[in-house]
């Protein structure tokens, strides 16, 4: 893959963006390959290239948080060949790309049930987080082995244990406290969620965090998602009137 261009040539004031946090459901890799009569696994390779273009673009624009859905807790039910390929692809991408992300001040974090991932991948993720922890540019969260219902269930278990241990009082349990027990405890809720591939569902992604998130559905399959399409989503967001129930 080509190296990221230095962000200094395109950087915009963060105040010029109407959002701090964008979440993305990167859907359509397999359909993209099928439409071109290519092996489905090749679609995932092209999806990585699309993510890299997006990270470069939003980093240059000054976006503070980008969270992408890379591998759901339900994806384990896919064919063994595809799951094995995806896990190897994650390891390869971390080996190839972390140094460059670090160079351009991207902070990389992983959210999900990470203790269920293979040991070599867990080590790569931990090293990537440690390497980029102090970076002050784009905060890139990668949801891997992630499911929102699982996340909320795990949070409730932790709250129950802390309540039984006397660390939490029953009357202290409110929305803010629940949020602190989620994988995204240090991350603001997304203002905008983009889903590619034309499907109109959340697919068990950031259900709690997206309670008042604006949703934008893009028909383009993920490998075809371009910076220009991201900008169109931002322009559409600007026209929304966010009422928060009022």
Which residue of the set 29, 75, 135, 204 is catalytic? 75
Q: Long-range CB contacts (< 8 A, 24+ apart) of 16-20?
A: 16/61, 16/62, 17/61, 17/62, 17/63, 17/234, 18/191, 18/234, 18/237, 18/238, 19/63, 19/190, 19/191, 19/192, 19/234, 19/237, 20/63, 20/64, 20/65, 20/188, 20/191
- Sign for the CA dihedral angle at 204, 206, 207, 208 comes to positive
Using left for φ > 0, alpha for ψ between -120 and 50, and beta otherwise, residue 166 falls in: left
Gap between the Cα atoms of 40 and 32, Å rounded: 8
Which residue of the set 27, 29, 139, 145 is catalytic? 27
Q: Long-range CB contacts (< 8 A, 24+ apart) of 215-220?
A: 216/192, 218/194, 220/28, 220/196
75 is catalytic: yes
Gap between the Cα atoms of 77 and 55, Å rounded: 29
3-state secondary structure of 111: strand
174 is catalytic: no
Q: Which residues are catalytic?
A: 27, 75
């Amino acid at each position: 893959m080509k190296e990221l261009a230095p962000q200094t040539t395109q950087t915009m004031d963060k105040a010029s963006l109407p959002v701090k946090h964008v979440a993305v459901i990167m859907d359509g890799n397999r359909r993209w390959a099928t439409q071109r009569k290519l092996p489905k696994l090749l679609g995932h390779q092209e999806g990585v290239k699309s993510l890299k273009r997006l990270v470069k673009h939003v980093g240059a624009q000054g976006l503070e948080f980008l969270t992408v859905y890379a591998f759901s807790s339900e994806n384990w039910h896919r064919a063994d060949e595809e799951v094995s390929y995806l896990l190897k692809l994650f390891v390869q991408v971390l080996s190839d790309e972390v140094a460059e992300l670090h160079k351009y001040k991207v902070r990389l974090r992983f959210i999900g049930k990470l203790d269920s991932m293979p040991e070599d991948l867990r080590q790569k993720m931990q090293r990537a987080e440690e390497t980029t922890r102090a970076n002050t540019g784009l905060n890139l969260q990668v949801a891997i082995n992630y499911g929102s219902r699982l996340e909320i269930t795990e949070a409730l278990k932790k709250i129950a244990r802390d309540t039984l241990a006397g660390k939490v009082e029953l009357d202290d349990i409110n929305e803010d406290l629940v949020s602190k027990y989620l994988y995204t405890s240090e991350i603001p809720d997304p203002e905008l969620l983009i889903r590619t591939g034309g499907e109109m569902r959340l697919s068990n992604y950031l259900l709690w965090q997206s309670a008042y998130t604006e949703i934008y559905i893009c028909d383009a399959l993920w490998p075809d998602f371009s910076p220009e399409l991201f900008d169109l989503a931002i322009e559409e967001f600007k026209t929304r009137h966010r009422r928060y129930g009022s």
